């Protein structure tokens, strides 16, 4: 879900030629502040995950459950540039993030959340730890430290308590609560990337919904008002393998021209899986997630431009519903832990046919800004994908930003078909953006995922819809065509028959929802 | 009331409290086997050489290239085994095989200075095979008669006469999925050799004594030369009852040969592709009902998917047979069981141990047949319950004790759930919503408690009182999250009459309590609790004598309550610490070994008759679901459960077991979709869902939005420690209610009275096809479509 991947099969390792960085590397040993303590990165390898780094230093509370960002047993808190305040505590999967990507950053683990007591006394528990412990939120306890970290991140979310009851008085304001939000403003989606095999989740939900607001004396709460840790230029090398982070886009693009074999990562939510599950080792990994040029979000009169390295969580919170189709997508895109790292640049860079953002961006008629050392070009997303995990992006080119033209079509819908509602990979996904005027479909844009080697536009269906009345007959005719778009396949996620059927059904459902025929379908799918 | 079940007033058992390790869990300081690696020096890492072919005889195994990889220390092969090359108890499970029996079978192990070195070394080992044909699916096994192990037949009454008396006879076939344990902590072991050559293995095992036994036979040692310890497990669910032994043996072999500590931890992919799962089953059945819908006769053949070796498949299949009746009286039955031999991992114990599979068959029959009989499914189920006062026995000949509890939990859950009123509301909702339907179903559970094999029903404990009055307990059970240790602390404090903080518990070790049974069959608290109680009673009796002489009274008049000994009609008292110190100076023994054997069990495995169970656990659940007619997607809106745990030893722990078991069962029945490559392509036999990204467990989105669990009140069980009942497995089967609610919601899209077949797991796709079939007036699509194959 992240980081353009470059084939590096024929590459012969050679040392970095950027002398200034080698100098910086020798002068400043990469260090990570873990639970307030400066911890040197060495002797970890450049590919070593933050999880292994922490465990090898004796912080074994952080666990490996799956090593691919699915279970959250490795969740830790990192300090990141904040959306509402200077700094946010953000929970990420430590199994996916290279430790070297945390050079100069601050990390808190489950061990660090508890305040160490005097010798011989029990540590004072963090409020989320206390609630988890006393409410039966742990059974085998293996997933618990990860839950605690994910829960702590939500505990510190600055806007969580805005609409909720005062601290210690969380029981009565049920009017603010719904099936996925507690009376204390706790968003259950914060735990969507954490799996527990023992409890059945009820006591964990009770704990989450019972935590109050952080006190002013809480050092982690105070930390939010200080500037975030700055991004540190990093060049960490070992045995001809390198992890590099530059300060500017220009420097990054120059390095990328020099090292077209390099793997580019932002949140490393995709590359981390390659490293752990497929044992891939890159000669050079370049981190782009803190490049200021890739982190801008501009809302103009005729378009919205979203930096390719903003995390999906940042986009979600900063857009705050301005793009309804994206707002519908985000809660269905992987889990909160993944969205805290994953970027649009990464999701488009991998070119996966089952990424969840391409169908939506296709329906929105988005385009991509591709930058290399010579300049920048704009490519419509519809022309971007060329084959299975292939695109028009050239070696040395980076996705800098995604442009969404305005105004948006008024009728939109995103339908993701998957086995599990939270954090699953879609078997098919369909995004609709329709302009309906006086009961007639003026324009129709439909993006599909999971039905071909690339995400596609449903052009034939769009043609059937456009110019016709928005009626059951039109929808029926268009659904028949939509079922035939692409070439869905049989696999462990779904049969091709079901995939095809769901394409047609998604349009019918959109119609039912839009015409108010099925108010309760929202209850099931939202 | 029996002595075993009698509970003193204000006892520590029965008090609701969090898990004894909860504070360590939440602070990340609770240690699991693989956390010890970072606290141990000079550890070598073991990595498997997995052969990615499904079946074949090994013709060459070359390790020289692996040994050239920097950091590789040694490659372990069959030639290194000094003892018996077998990872199981039946000599059908070679630790280092000559024949690859399933895709991903490990044939050698590489030891490296780092995990990375061991991995690269494993990739450099060259294995050549003469490939052989493979059997993957249950259909293939049945067609080719590929079976192994026992083929039990359970017979009661006269089946032919029963069918002759039946007004309605239905037949059917049903195949349902296996299930991955997905304990969050994968298999792990860390082995060391001490100065005298003794092997010490820390293992994530539910059965330390058997791990010890197998490590010993592999190494050619006696059991007293091997000690196995289990600190705790990050989940077990049966997956660590038999399966950890071979991994522990590899680590121990490596430690013995190199003299260095060896760590073996499977990553998730290895765990998924190498370790056994819940058995999938195939069932062929014929059932007869009288005009009122009462079952007259059942004839069924259950085929379990045993995988490549027997492991626990025989007792699993036996338990499936023993639970096909569930809560229903079946006067005439003939049920046969057999175990398919397939080229897949060796399937093993999983919470319920075949019981859920047997019960799923009868609950599926009930759900399918109710509309054909013109009955509401709830009515059909109620009509067939075991009745009190009639001396009804199970098809294997055991008297059903407390059958009134079947009705008691059922009626109580109906009341708690507002069942009748909500059914009316749902009917109104469904008629108003063409695209969304709700279903509300109630199902019950009767589950037999004890190991089928009588010998396993014993437990041991060692309780030590130190001079300062502190108490240390050891027992044979292992902690995997189920709260056994919490309960054992409560039992010890209760029996001794002291506050809980006086008691500590030491990790499970084979050199403290020998010859233990697996912590399995839900029996952990029954067996070990009674043993702990027995040890504490011995100590209490001795201390009462001491107290009596100090207080100037008879021992029978002394009570120790909350750490103070008092006697009747006197103000004199003696604090626990003083009592213990006095006892020491009087040279009274302050340690005791406790023991317990479950009385009254007998089982004739050949005749498939007897009374293998000490008692039955009962429960009932009402589940409401909402289904989207466009996609088949659904959510669980509300679940009400009433469950019988006897008099609970620890209510928060028990409710946690009920809730967790329920959601795990719902996962098996709805979401968890294990897929194997059964094509004739090059990937044949490969597990397709070998990661958390493809094998989906329940997450927060599957938790019932409203979830109410109540424990049955006044439920003392005479035959178990402090009147309690086992709780680990039975609640899993309460999840049948979700499946039946989905069936009813799917049926609501079609005309009334149609039979609805529903594949298991009932994924959104499976539910969609059930809806489509209901819409087509109940004419089911062909099977291939229904199973989504």
User: DSSP letter at B312?
Assistant: T
Q: Is B29 on the interface with A (CB under 8 A)?
A: yes
Residues B549-562 have pLDDT tens digits of 999 999 999 999 99
Residue B114 lies in a domain: no
Residues of B in contact with A136 (CB under 8 A): 18-19, 22, 652-653, 655-656
Q: Is the peptide bond before A168 cis (omega within 30 degrees of 0)?
A: no
Residue B437, chain A, CB below 8 Å: the answer is: no
The pLDDT of residue A190 is above 50: yes
Measured between CA atoms, how close is A142 to chain B, in angstroms?
Answer: 5
Spell out the SS3 assignment of B558-577.
Answer: EEEECCEEEECCCCCEEEHH
A496 touches chain B (CB under 8 A): no
Q: Are B669 and B743 found together in one domain? A: yes
The pair of three-digit structure tokens given for residue B712, joined into one six-digit string = 């049955």
From B652's Cα to the closest Cα of chain A, the distance in A is: 7
> Which residues from A are below 8 Å from B763, CB to CB?
419
Q: Is the dihedral of CA B596, B601, B604, B609 positive or negative?
A: negative
pLDDT at residue A353, rounded to an integer: 86
Confirm whether B527 is domain-assigned: yes
* Pair type for strands B188-193 and B199-203: antiparallel
Q: Do B701 and A142 touch (CB under 8 A)?
A: no
Peptide bond into B253 cis (omega under 30): no
Looking at the fold, whether B443 and B463 belong to one and the same domain comes out as no
* Residue A115 confidence (pLDDT): 78
CB B75 within 8 A of CB B108: yes
Measured CA to CA, the distance from residue B600 to residue B577 in angstroms comes to 39
Within 155-184 of B, beta carbons closer than 8 Å to A belong to: 181-184
Are the beta carbons of B31 and A521 separated by less than 8 Å?
Answer: no
Q: How confident is the model at residue A422 (pLDDT cuts 50, 70, 90)?
A: confident
Residues B505 and B553 in one domain: yes
Q: Are residues B629 and B563 in the same domain?
A: no
Q: Final residue of a domain: which of B540, B567, B597?
A: B597
Which positions 143-162 of A are in contact with B (Cβ < 8 Å)?
Answer: 143-145, 148
Measured in angstroms, the CA of B71 and the nearest CA of chain A are apart by 15
> pLDDT tens digit string along A365-385?
999 999 999 999 999 999 999
Inspect the interface and report whether the beta carbons of B27 and A506 lie closer than 8 Å: no
pLDDT at A121: 59
Residue B1 CA to residue B717 CA, distance in Å, equals 9
Question: Is residue B131 assigned to a domain?
Answer: no
- As a whole number of angstroms, the distance between CA A394 and CA A186 comes to 43
Mean of pLDDT over chain B: 96
Q: Over 60: is that where the pLDDT of A12 sits?
A: no
Q: Does the beta carbon of B434 lie under 8 angstroms from any beta carbon of chain A?
A: yes
B74, containing H or E segment: strand B72-76
Per-residue pLDDT tens over the stretch B146-203: 999 999 999 999 999 999 999 999 999 999 999 999 999 999 999 999 999 999 999 9
Distance (Å) from the alpha carbon of B313 to chain A's nearest alpha carbon: 24
Q: Do B434 and A518 touch (CB under 8 A)?
A: yes
- CB A457 within 8 Å of CB A447: yes
Kindly write down the DSSP assignment for every residue of A442-502, as one continuous string: EEEEEEEESSSSS-EE-HHHHHHHTTSBSSHHHHHHHHHHHHTSS-----SS--HHHHHHH
Does residue A201 lie in a domain region? no
Token pair belonging to A270: 């995709």
Q: What is the pLDDT of residue A165?
A: 43
Report the distance separating Cα A32 and Cα A99, nearest Å: 8
A279 touching B (Cβ < 8 Å)? yes
pLDDT surpassing 60 at residue A68: yes
Query: Coil, strand or helix: which one is B766?
Result: helix
B239: chain A residues, CB-CB within 8 Å: none
B527/B589 same-domain check: yes
The SS3 of residue B622 is strand
Do B627 and B772 have their domain in common? Answer: yes
Domain assignment present for B280: no
**How far, in Å, CA of A302 to CA of A325, rounded?**
17
B678: DSSP letter: -
pLDDT at A169: 43
Pairwise CA distance, residues B93 & B247, whole Å: 13
Query: Which A positions 321-360 lie with beta carbon below 8 A of chain B?
Result: none
Q: Is residue A425 part of a domain?
A: yes
In the predicted model, residues of chain B with pLDDT beneath 70 are 1, 777-789
Q: Where a domain ends, among B537, B569, B597?
A: B597
Best B15, B16, B20, B26 residue to mutate vs chain A (most A CBs within 10 Å): B26
Q: Are residues B697 and B777 in the same domain?
A: yes
Q: Per the domain annotation, does A453 fall within a domain?
A: yes
Selected residues 64-93 of chain B with any CB under 8 Å from a CB in chain A: none
Do B337 and B321 form a contact (C-beta atoms < 8 A)?
Answer: yes
The rounded percent of chain B whose pLDDT value lies above 90 is 96
| Number of CB atoms found within 10 A of residue B289's CB | 22
Set of chain B residues whose Cβ sits within 8 Å of the Cβ of A239: none
Spatial contact of B129 and B57, defined as CB atoms under 8 Å apart: yes
pLDDT tens digits for A95-154? Answer: 999 999 999 999 999 999 997 555 555 668 999 999 999 999 999 999 999 999 999 999
Is residue B409 within 8 Å of residue B642, measured between CB atoms? yes
- The predicted structure's pLDDT at residue A33: 97
Q: Which residue has the tokens 């009930």?
A: B366
Q: CB–CB of B330/B395 below 8 Å?
A: yes
Q: Do residue B560 and residue B687 come from a single domain?
A: no
The pLDDT score that the predictor gives to residue B783 is: 36
Q: Chain B within 8 Å of A83 (Cβ-Cβ)?
A: no
Residue B786: per-residue pLDDT = 34
Q: Is the residue at A454 inside a domain?
A: yes
Query: Is there a contact between A517 and B434 if contact means CB atoms under 8 Å apart?
Result: yes
B339 token code pair: 């175990």
Q: What is the CATH number of the domain that holds A436?
A: 3.30.390.50
Q: Is residue A473 part of a domain?
A: yes
CA distance B412 to chain A (A): 22
Inspect the interface and report whether the beta carbons of A133 and B702 lie closer than 8 Å: no
What pLDDT score was predicted for residue A120?
A: 54
**Residues B779 and B630 both lie in one domain:** yes
**Total number of domains constituting chain B:** 2
From chain A residues 94-133, the ones with a CB under 8 A of any chain B CB are 109-111, 113-114, 122-123, 125, 129-130, 132-133
Q: What angle (nearest 5°) sits at the alpha carbon of residue A354, between those of residues A349 and A355? A: 45
What's the pLDDT at A163? 53
Q: Is it the case that residue A161 has pLDDT exceeding 90?
A: no
Tell me whether residue A177 is in a domain: no
Q: Is B767 domain-assigned?
A: yes
Give the domain extent around B736: 385-450+613-786
| CB contacts, 8 Å: A425 with chain B | 693-694
In a domain, B399, yes or no: yes
Same domain? B629 vs B771? yes
Q: Same structural domain for residues B437 and B488?
A: no
| Beta carbons of B268 and A113 less than 8 Å apart | no
B664 touches chain A (CB under 8 A): yes
Q: Is residue A151 part of a domain?
A: no
Q: Which of A195, A273, A491 is the closest to B697 by Cβ?
A: A195
> Testing the interface with B: which of A48, A111, A198, A241 to mutate, by most B Cβ within 10 A?
A198
- E strands present in A321-389: 367-372, 375-380, 385-387
> Tokens 């030590």 correspond to what residue?
B464
Please report, in angstroms and rounded to a whole number, the separation of the first and last CA atoms in chain A. 23
The upper half-sphere exposure of residue B563, i.e. CA atoms within 13 Å in the direction of its Cβ, equals: 13
Q: What ipTM was reported for this prediction?
A: 0.96
Residue of B184, B487, B624, B727 to mutate, testing the A interface (most A Cβ within 10 Å of its Cβ): B184
If residue A500 lies in a helix (H) or strand (E), which one and from where to where? Answer: helix A496-514
3-state secondary structure of B660: helix
Domain hosting A440: range is: 411-525
Q: Are residues B620 and B752 in the same domain?
A: yes
Per-residue CA distances from B316 to A404, B174, B306, B390 (Å): 58, 18, 9, 30
Least confidently predicted of A177-181, A335-339, B6-10? A177-181
| Residues within 8 A of B (CB atoms), A 408-447 only | 415, 417-425
Of residues B180, B241, B626, B729, which has the active-site annotation? B729
pLDDT on residue A520 = 42
Chain A interface disruption, residue of B25, B636, B662, B688, most A CBs within 10 A: B25
Return the number of CB contacts < 8 Å for A and B: 275
Number of folded domains that form chain A: 1
Question: Which residues in chain B are closer than 8 Å to A187, comparing Cβ atoms?
Answer: none
Q: Do B788 and A145 touch (CB under 8 A)?
A: no
pLDDT of B105 reads 98
Residues of B with CB below 8 A from A154's CB?
A: none
Q: Tell me the percentage of chain B whose pLDDT exceeds 70.
A: 98
- Domain boundary (B571, B597, B623) is at B597
B227 is a domain residue: no
More confident residue, A315 or A161: A315
Whether B606 contacts chain A with CB within 8 A: no
Q: Pick the residue from chain B with its C-alpha nearest to A189.
A: B700
Interface touch A505/B630, C-beta < 8 Å:
yes
| CATH number of the domain that residue B398 is part of | 3.30.365.10
Residue B241 forms part of a structural domain: no
Q: Do residues A451 and A488 touch, judged by C-beta distance below 8 A? A: yes
Annotation marks residue B729 as catalytic:
yes
Contacts of A495 (CB under 8 A, 6+ apart): B765, B788, B789
Does residue A519 register a pLDDT over 70?
no
């Amino acid at each position: 879900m992240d980081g353009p991947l470059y084939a590096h099969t024929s590459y012969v390792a050679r040392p970095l030629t950027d002398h200034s960085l080698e100098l910086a590397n020798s002068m400043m040993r990469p260090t990570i502040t873990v639970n307030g303590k400066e911890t040197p990165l060495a002797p970890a390898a450049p590919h070593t995950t933050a999880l292994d780094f922490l465990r090898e230093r004796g912080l074994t509370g952080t666990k490996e459950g799956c090593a691919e960002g699915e279970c959250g047993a490795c969740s830790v808190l990192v300090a990141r540039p904040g959306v509402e305040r200077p700094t946010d505590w953000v929970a990420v999967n430590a199994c996916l993030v290279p430790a070297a990507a945390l050079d100069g950053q601050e990390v808190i683990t489950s061990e660090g959340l508890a305040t160490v007591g005097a010798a011989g006394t029990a540590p004072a528990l963090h409020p989320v730890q206390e609630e988890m412990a006393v409410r039966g939120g742990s059974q085998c306890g293996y997933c618990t430290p990860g839950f605690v970290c994910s829960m702590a991140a939500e505990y510190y979310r600055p806007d969580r308590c805005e609409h909720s009851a005062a601290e210690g008085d969380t029981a009565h304001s049920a009017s603010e609560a719904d099936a996925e939000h507690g009376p204390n403003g706790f968003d259950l989606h914060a735990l969507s990337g954490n799996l527990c095999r023992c409890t059945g989740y009820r006591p964990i939900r009770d704990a989450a919904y019972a935590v109050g607001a952080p006190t002013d004396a809480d050092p982690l709460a105070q930390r939010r008002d200080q500037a975030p840790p700055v991004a540190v230029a990093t060049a960490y090398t070992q045995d001809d393998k390198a992890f590099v982070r530059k300060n500017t886009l220009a420097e990054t693009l120059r390095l990328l021209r020099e090292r077209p074999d390099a793997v580019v990562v932002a949140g490393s939510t995709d590359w981390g899986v390659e490293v752990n599950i497929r044992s891939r080792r890159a000669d050079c990994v370049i981190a782009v997630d803190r490049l200021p040029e890739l982190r801008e979000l501009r809302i103009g009169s005729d378009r919205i431009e979203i930096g390719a390295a903003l995390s999906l969580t940042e986009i979600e919170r900063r857009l705050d519903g301005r793009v309804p189709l994206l707002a519908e997508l985000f809660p269905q895109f992987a889990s909160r832990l993944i969205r805290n790292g994953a970027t649009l640049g990464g999701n488009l860079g991998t070119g996966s046919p089952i990424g969840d953002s391409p169908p939506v961006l296709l329906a929105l008629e988005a385009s991509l800004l591709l930058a290399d050392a010579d300049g920048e070009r704009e490519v419509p997303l519809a022309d971007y994908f060329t084959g299975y995990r292939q695109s028009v992006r050239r070696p040395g080119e980076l996705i800098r930003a995604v442009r969404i033209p305005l105004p948006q079509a008024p009728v939109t819908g995103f339908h993701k078909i998957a086995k599990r509602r939270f954090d699953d990979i879609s078997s098919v996904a369909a995004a609709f953006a329709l302009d309906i005027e006086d009961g007639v479909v003026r324009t129709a844009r439909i993006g599909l995922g999971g039905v071909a080697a690339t995400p596609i536009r449903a052009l034939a269906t769009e043609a059937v819809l456009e110019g016709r009345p928005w009626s059951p007959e039109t929808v029926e005719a268009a659904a028949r065509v939509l079922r035939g778009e692409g070439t869905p396949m049989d696999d462990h996620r779904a049969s091709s028959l079901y995939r095809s059927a769901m394409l047609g059904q998604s349009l019918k459902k959109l119609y039912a929802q839009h015409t108010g025929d099925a108010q309760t379908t929202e209850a099931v799918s939202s | 009331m029996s002595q075993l079940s009698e509970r003193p007033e204000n006892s520590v058992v029965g008090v609701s409290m969090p898990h004894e390790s909860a504070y360590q869990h939440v602070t990340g300081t609770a240690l699991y086997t693989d956390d010890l690696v970072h606290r141990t020096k000079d550890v070598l890492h073991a990595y498997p050489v997995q052969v990615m072919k499904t079946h074949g005889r090994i013709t060459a195994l070359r390790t020289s290239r692996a040994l050239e990889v920097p950091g590789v220390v040694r490659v372990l092969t069959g030639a290194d085994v000094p003892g018996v090359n077998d990872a199981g108890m039946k000599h059908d499970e070679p630790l280092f095989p000559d024949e690859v029996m399933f895709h991903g079978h490990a044939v050698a192990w590489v030891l490296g200075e780092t995990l990375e070195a061991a991995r690269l070394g494993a990739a450099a080992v060259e294995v050549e095979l003469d490939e052989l044909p493979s059997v993957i699916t249950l259909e293939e096994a049945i067609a080719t008669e590929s079976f192994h192990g026992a083929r039990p037949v359970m017979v009661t009454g006269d089946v032919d006469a029963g069918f002759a008396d039946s007004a309605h006879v239905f037949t059917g076939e049903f195949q349902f999925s296996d299930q991955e344990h997905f304990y969050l902590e994968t298999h792990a072991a860390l082995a060391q050799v001490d100065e005298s050559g003794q092997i010490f293995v820390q293992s994530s095992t539910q059965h330390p004594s058997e791990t010890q036994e197998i490590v010993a036979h592999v190494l050619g040692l006696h059991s007293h030369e091997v000690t196995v310890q289990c600190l705790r497990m990050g989940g077990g669910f049966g997956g660590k009852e038999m399966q950890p032994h071979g991994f522990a043996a590899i680590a121990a072999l490596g430690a013995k040969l190199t003299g260095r500590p060896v760590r073996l931890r499977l990553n998730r992919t290895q765990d998924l592709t190498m370790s056994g799962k819940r058995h999938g089953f195939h069932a062929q059945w014929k059932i007869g009902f009288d005009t009122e819908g009462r079952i007259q006769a059942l004839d069924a053949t259950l085929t379990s998917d045993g995988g490549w070796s027997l492991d626990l498949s025989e007792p699993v299949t036996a338990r499936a047979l023993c639970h096909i009746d569930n809560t229903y009286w079946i006067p005439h039955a003939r049920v046969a069981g057999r175990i398919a031999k397939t080229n897949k991992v060796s399937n093993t114990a999983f919470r319920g141990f075949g019981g859920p599979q047997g019960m799923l068959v009868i609950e599926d029959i009930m759900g399918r047949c109710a509309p054909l009989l013109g009955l509401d499914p709830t009515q059909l189920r109620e009509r067939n319950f075991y009745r009190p006062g009639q001396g009804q026995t199970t098809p294997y000949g055991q008297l059903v004790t407390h059958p009134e509890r079947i009705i008691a939990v059922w009626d109580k859950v109906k009341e708690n759930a507002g069942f009748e009123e909500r059914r009316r509301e749902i009917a109104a909702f469904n008629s108003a919503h063409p695209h969304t339907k709700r279903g509300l179903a109630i199902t019950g559970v009767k589950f037999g408690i004890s190991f089928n094999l009588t010998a396993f029903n014993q437990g041991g404990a060692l309780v030590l009182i130190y001079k300062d009055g502190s108490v240390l307990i050891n027992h044979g059970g292992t902690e995997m999250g189920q709260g056994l240790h919490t309960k054992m602390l409560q039992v010890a404090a209760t029996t001794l009459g002291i506050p809980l903080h006086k008691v500590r518990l030491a990790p499970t070790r084979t050199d403290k309590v020998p010859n233990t049974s697996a912590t399995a069959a839900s029996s952990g608290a029954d067996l070990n609790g009674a043993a702990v109680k027995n040890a504490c009673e011995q100590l209490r009796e001795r201390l009462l004598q001491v107290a009596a002489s100090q207080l100037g009274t008879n021992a029978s008049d002394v009570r120790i309550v909350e750490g103070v000994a008092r006697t009747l009609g006197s103000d004199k008292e003696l604090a626990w610490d003083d009592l213990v110190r006095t006892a020491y100076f009087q040279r009274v023994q302050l340690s005791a070994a406790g023991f317990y054997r479950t009385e009254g069990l007998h089982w004739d495995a050949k005749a498939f008759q007897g009374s293998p169970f000490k008692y039955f656990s009962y429960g009932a659940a009402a589940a409401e679901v909402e289904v989207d007619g466009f996609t088949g997607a659904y959510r669980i809106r509300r679940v009400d459960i009433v469950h019988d745990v006897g008099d609970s030893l620890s209510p928060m722990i028990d409710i946690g077991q009920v809730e967790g078991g329920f959601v795990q069962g719902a996962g098996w029945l709805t979401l968890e979709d294990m897929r194997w490559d059964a094509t004739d392509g090059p990937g044949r036999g490969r597990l397709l869902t070998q990661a958390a990204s493809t094998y989906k467990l329940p997450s927060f989105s599957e938790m019932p939005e409203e979830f109410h669990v109540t424990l049955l009140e006044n439920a003392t069980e005479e035959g178990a420690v402090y009147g309690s009942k086992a709780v680990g497995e039975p609640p899993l089967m309460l999840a049948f209610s979700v499946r039946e609610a989905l069936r009813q919601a799917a049926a609501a899209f079609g005309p009334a009275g149609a039979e609805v077949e529903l594949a298991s797991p009932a994924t959104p796709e499976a539910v969609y096809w059930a809806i489509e079939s209901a819409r087509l007036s109940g004419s089911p699509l062909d099977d291939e479509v229904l199973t989504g194959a």
